[in-house]
Amino acid sequence: MSKAKSADLILKLYELRREEKMREARNWMITFFPESAQDITQTMMNDETSAYYRMVTSYWDMAASFVNHGAINEKMFNEVSGEAVMVFSRIEPFLEEIRGMNGSPNYLANLEKLIMRMPDAKEMLAKRREMMKRMMQARNEAAAKSVTT
């Protein structure tokens, strides 16, 4: 895969992320911090959140499949697609249990393969989860403060 073709495909993926419903789904995903596989299962069955969850996770699994099959240069993709790591970091601790619960042993397998090839992947995912929790806590505190002033 040439770098120019990889860049073109990455730009096309970026354009898909700008679609209005996808933006809503991505904004929702930033606030989603599951504490168990059951939280994720309930999210998938909830009329309000199911579409958002499925839209974001299937998008990143699809994008990862392009990388895994050589359609997009992996290094180039990883340098610009940190959101994929953020999404996977939320689900990774519960992935095996979710797969067992829904009978889908390949659920998010492409995303998992891509992310787990990164150096120190488990540590990076744990750090990303903690960083996002701190960021969301700070965001919520700032929002609460602006309401009281």
pLDDT for 64-85, tens place per residue? 999 999 999 999 999 999 999 9
- Band the pLDDT of 132: cuts 50, 70, 90: confident
Average pLDDT value for the chain = 93
Residue 51 has pLDDT above 90, yes or no: yes
Provide mean pLDDT across the span 100-114. 96
Residue 14 has pLDDT above 90, yes or no: yes
As a whole number of angstroms, the distance between CA 73 and CA 25 comes to: 26
CB of 82 closer than 8 Å to CB of 31: no
Question: ∠ CA 59-114-60 to the nearest 5 degrees?
Answer: 10
Long-range contacts of 53-58 (CB under 8 A, 24+ apart): 53/25, 53/28, 53/29, 55/21, 55/22, 55/25, 56/22, 56/25, 56/26, 56/28, 56/29, 56/87, 57/87, 57/91, 57/108, 57/111
As a whole number of angstroms, the distance between CA 127 and CA 18 comes to: 27
Output the pTM of the full model: 0.89
CB of 111 closer than 8 Å to CB of 39: no
pLDDT for position 142: 83
Residue 1 has pLDDT above 80, yes or no: no
pLDDT for position 149: 67
| 69 or 102, greater pLDDT | 69
pLDDT for position 64: 98
Residue 6 has pLDDT above 80, yes or no: yes
- Band the pLDDT of 143: cuts 50, 70, 90: confident
Residue 95 has pLDDT above 70, yes or no: yes
Residue 20 has pLDDT above 80, yes or no: yes
